[in-house]
Structure 1
Amino acid sequence: MNAYKKKYSLENPEDIQELIDLVENGDLSDIEENEDEDDILESVTVPGEPRVGPDTLTKMDEQLQERNGNQHGADDSSSDDESLSVVAAKRSGVTWKKIKFETIRQEWNQDQDPIEPAYPIEYFLRYISVKNFRPTTESEIKVLIALHIMIGCLNRFPRIRMYWDRTLRIYAFLENMSRDRFFQLRSCLHFVNNLEKPTESKDRLFKVRPIMNSVRKRCLQLNLERQLCVDEQMIPFTGSINIKQYIKGKPCPWGIKVFVLSGKSGQAYDIVFYQEKTTTTKFGQGASVILHFANRISQPGHQLVFDNFFNSYLLLVELKKKEILAAGTIRINRFFQPPVMSDRNMKKEARGFSEEVVSEDGVVNG
């Protein structure tokens, strides 16, 4: 190996001739290392060598051409149109050749037409699998509803499928109904025929109205206690429904709001599902709920309690006419500004301090 590297210039004829000799002899050790050998080889044209396009074939390329021609059975007697042209791809190491285009002929054997005629339902079932549904029974529907009630009472797992986890050992689910059957019945359960809904109906709970009416019918058959209360409750629900609400401060802030008439014991005697403006009257939304439940109270002398969301002066006047004793917190602007002490001044009084005012007609006092 030479002790130094010589740098060649392609503009000097002597350097070009020396490079040609180096290429022919195969010794490239004298070429400067910072030069790209492929670029030098491509830039040097050897006299008398054939050119293919912009590339130049060296003697090494001729030898490669002869070897490829022998491998592919090249025939010297072939015409010029069928001759092969070989170019060495110096960077990638891939060798290309030019050949005459010939159509590839291959026979196609098909025993059956890929497109078979079929009815629309047959064509649909080819792509969409439909599971066979086993008819249900009355007892199975009772179990289904019971499991839903248990899920609502327990409410401990983020996924319903977890109630069937054998490591948790909730035998009420494991022993009464399989998980797959539960979800199959749940997805196919219908209480009404959707096609029978009246066009003018604004009931947003039309699909579950029969079961709601069944529960309310039983509540209306119960005997009322003397001490009653009206308040709102939330049915936890995070799905998609246009009556879902968010109430800050509730144990379950997201859900469906329900107004309930209940007794001191906690027994429910009537229910009304909130559907926005569909439950309002001239007395306002809160008062309309109280008057609706007041129709349930037929016997005089009942004591009805509610909070300031429902309470108003006109409401107490109506309840007084029905001989219902009502009490509850108030909002001053709903009672025509009664002359009572402000909250700031009342806080300055001793514990147990009270103040009473009465309307001139004696109907409302506070």
Structure 2
Amino acid sequence: MLAYLDSLESDDEGHNQFQEAESLEFKNTTNDESWDDSDNECLATKQKRLKLSKPRKNTNKKARSFKWEEINLNIREEKVELIEEEKPTIISEIVNRNLAPIDLFKMFFSHDLIDTICIETKRYANQKGYHNFSVSSDDIYKYLATVLLSGYSPVPSRRCYWETRHDTNKALVTNALSRNKFESIHRFFHLNDNSQIDRSDKIYKVRPIVNHINKVSQECIRPLGKYFSIDEAMEPYYGRHSMKQFIRGKPIRFGFKCWCLCTSDGYLIKFDVYTGAGDKIEGKSLGSSVTEKMCLNILPQYSFVFLDNYFTPIPLVKTLSENKLFCIGTIRSDRTEKASLKDLKKEHRGTHYTIHDSASSTTLTRWHDNSQVTVISNDSASSTTLTRWHDTSQVTVISNVQEQGLYKTKGTCRRWSKKQKATVQVDQPSLINMYNKGMGGVDRFDQMRGLYRSRIRSKKWYWPLFRFCLDGAVTNMWYLYRRALKTQNEYISLLEFRRRIVLAILSSPPSNSNTGPKPKFLTNVLTEIRFDGKEHWIDKQETQRRCGNCGKCTKFSCLKCNVGLLPEM
């Protein structure tokens, strides 16, 4: 019994020693290792708490501060007009040298470009094993003319141009270029060397002609002018490609998207193909990136650029102001950076509201038309204005234009009133009026380009982009030629302009290699008509022709069928 009690005492001493060691251990622990109530939390709750407790890094730039001041618009008596002070020098050159449409075509599609196409087309044919293939610059010109012909005189299949039947046969094409020659060129048509392909350039296949058309278009319109617009244009394409876009609600929903910089009256100055997220400048929106690439280092200072709401955040307007470019564009309500704009949706038609910031050279105008419109403007190098106007909808426009105090004035426009059943005058800010007159340049160019879009198709994915270059270049040529004729009180339509180019190229004397062998005797009449046995009368002609039956020479022919016949004697 005594031994048992002694053992208990020894256990108590060990227990006390353990407690002392444990207390020392807790004293040496840090606060992070100490126990708290969070140990009872579930894992998901604890992760959420720790995430919220972490200090956030402020990666955003310092918020811009605007001091908006409301502006009361004054009545503007004179109309807002977009008048170019200087005409392009090529206009007088066309008149003085009496240039024809074919001369302008060879100015855009120069011999250097055509020689490049010949070299790359032959190189591609050799890479495919067709070492006997040959093509000349004359062949390429006639090939392009045939493609242009398909825009205003289409056929179900391109081979119909070489048929012997009168309903589809085009003697102009048949006499200029053989079918096999055209098909060979169309098969091997190339613009760049596949062996030197740049994987980082998604439009490497058509890069030479894109750069060439942009360069020539800018050179021919010098001086560039003063009023420009930026927008998108679609070229239809229904195949499979990573650059193909789908835009709901557009006339062309599937295809390649091209960014276009045009004059306010529809002359294409520069375009580029949207290739994906790589087009965006780091730290900027896609719309801002496109606008800066299109405008900076190209447009002269103090030019006016018109944009839609896809391109116009307020930082872009500031960037354009720093580069001495004026900007007017509609802006989305969530991009106004919490500007104190009144909501005009419940106001009467024609209501407007304008605010201006002098420090950033920006104007915001909101106008209620068919919807509420907000306009932003950078009026000078040191001010900003916002205007809101209500007609039957609310529109917001951004601008940095201070020409003759334009952002401080308003005019009137005509609108149909359902209540009064008559046309009424509605207040309209001058910025809205100027935007309506200057924004339609790209749409006008795209409309004219699509009127006679080339119809010959190809399985190559880059063919629509080449077609865009070809049709766009012809539209630019017509623009210059039309302006030149306007000085002489003359006019030429786009259709007539294209026809003159096609006729000038395809009517030139063909080479021996261009035309195929002629058949021994042609019968252009359907078999059902030729052998129906009704009203076939034989008449004697002055010249000989081949018999449609035996192929021998004869001076007799059928009046109904116009087929040579050798009567039995």
Map of 1:293 onto structure 2:
294
Higher helix share: 2
8 Å Cα contact 2:296/2:323 also seen in 1 = no
Map of 2:256 onto structure 1:
256
8 Å Cα contact 2:318/2:360 also seen in 1 = no
Greater relative contact order: 1 or 2 (C-alpha under 8 angstroms, separation 6 or more)? 2
Map of 1:218 onto structure 2:
216
Compared with structure 1, are the counterparts of its residues 131 and 322 closer, same or farther at alpha carbon in structure 2 (3 Å cutoff)? closer
1:202 Cα deviation after fit: 1.3
Map of 1:103 onto structure 2:
none
AA aligned to 2:237 is: F
1:319 Cα deviation after fit: 0.7
Compared with structure 1, are the counterparts of its residues 332 and 359 closer, same or farther at alpha carbon in structure 2 (3 Å cutoff)? farther
Map of 1:354 onto structure 2:
352
Map of 1:193 onto structure 2:
193
1:351 Cα deviation after fit: 2.7
Compared with structure 1, are the counterparts of its residues 196 and 329 closer, same or farther at alpha carbon in structure 2 (3 Å cutoff)? same
How many residue pairs get aligned? The number is 231
Structure 2 unaligned regions, length at least 5: 1-128, 365-569
Compared with structure 1, are the counterparts of its residues 300 and 132 closer, same or farther at alpha carbon in structure 2 (3 Å cutoff)? closer
8 Å Cα contact 2:302/2:326 also seen in 1 = yes
Structure 1 unaligned regions, length at least 5: 1-129
8 Å Cα contact 1:359/1:365 also seen in 2 = yes
1:277 Cα deviation after fit: 1.5
AA aligned to 1:352 is: G
Map of 2:508 onto structure 1:
none
Map of 1:11 onto structure 2:
none
Separation in 2, partners of 1:163, 1:231 = 37
Map of 2:147 onto structure 1:
148
Map of 2:314 onto structure 1:
313
Separation in 2, partners of 1:164, 1:339 = 68
The CA deviation string for residues 279-336 of structure 1, in whole angstroms up to 9 with x for no partner, is 1112211111111112244422211101011111000001111121111111122221
Q: In structure 1, the residue corresponding to 2:241 is in which secondary structure?
A: coil
Map of 2:136 onto structure 1:
137
Q: In structure 2, the residue corresponding to 1:354 is in which secondary structure?
A: strand
1:163 Cα deviation after fit: 5.1
The CA deviation string for residues 55-105 of structure 1, in whole angstroms up to 9 with x for no partner, is xxxxxxxxxxxxxxxxxxxxxxxxxxxxxxxxxxxxxxxxxxxxxxxxxxx
Map of 2:441 onto structure 1:
none
8 Å Cα contact 2:160/2:169 also seen in 1 = no
The CA deviation string for residues 11-36 of structure 1, in whole angstroms up to 9 with x for no partner, is xxxxxxxxxxxxxxxxxxxxxxxxxx
1:190 Cα deviation after fit: 2.0
AA aligned to 1:205 is: I
Map of 1:303 onto structure 2:
304
Aligned with residue 209 of structure 1, among 207, 210, 228: 207
Separation in 2, partners of 1:149, 1:196 = 30
Separation in 2, partners of 1:225, 1:212 = 22
Q: In structure 2, the residue corresponding to 1:361 is in which secondary structure?
A: coil
Separation in 2, partners of 1:190, 1:327 = 41
Compared with structure 1, are the counterparts of its residues 172 and 267 closer, same or farther at alpha carbon in structure 2 (3 Å cutoff)? farther
1:143 Cα deviation after fit: 1.7
Separation in 2, partners of 1:249, 1:231 = 16
Separation in 1, partners of 2:244, 2:175 = 34
Q: In structure 2, the residue corresponding to 1:259 is in which secondary structure?
A: strand
Q: In structure 2, the residue corresponding to 1:270 is in which secondary structure?
A: strand
Compared with structure 1, are the counterparts of its residues 191 and 272 closer, same or farther at alpha carbon in structure 2 (3 Å cutoff)? same
8 Å Cα contact 2:270/2:294 also seen in 1 = yes
Q: In structure 1, the residue corresponding to 2:357 is in which secondary structure?
A: coil
The CA deviation string for residues 106-160 of structure 1, in whole angstroms up to 9 with x for no partner, is xxxxxxxxxxxxxxxxxxxxxxxx8885411101111212333443x44955644
Compared with structure 1, are the counterparts of its residues 265 and 170 closer, same or farther at alpha carbon in structure 2 (3 Å cutoff)? farther
1:270 Cα deviation after fit: 0.8
8 Å Cα contact 1:231/1:306 also seen in 2 = yes
Q: In structure 1, the residue corresponding to 2:201 is in which secondary structure?
A: coil
Higher strand share: 2
Compared with structure 1, are the counterparts of its residues 303 and 185 closer, same or farther at alpha carbon in structure 2 (3 Å cutoff)? same
Map of 2:374 onto structure 1:
none
1:225 Cα deviation after fit: 2.1
In the TM superposition, 1:112-191 aligns within 5 A as 133-151=132-150, 153-154=151-152, 159-162=157-160, 164=162, 166-170=166-170, 173-191=173-191
The reply to whether residue 340 of structure 1 matches residue 341 of structure 2 is yes
Separation in 1, partners of 2:194, 2:131 = 23
Q: In structure 2, the residue corresponding to 1:308 is in which secondary structure?
A: coil
In the TM superposition, 1:82-121 aligns within 5 A as none
8 Å Cα contact 1:225/1:264 also seen in 2 = no
Which one is further off, 266-275 or 294-303?
Answer: 294-303
Compared with structure 1, are the counterparts of its residues 163 and 321 closer, same or farther at alpha carbon in structure 2 (3 Å cutoff)? farther
Q: Which structure has the larger Rg?
A: 1
Map of 1:232 onto structure 2:
232
Identity across matched positions, percent = 24
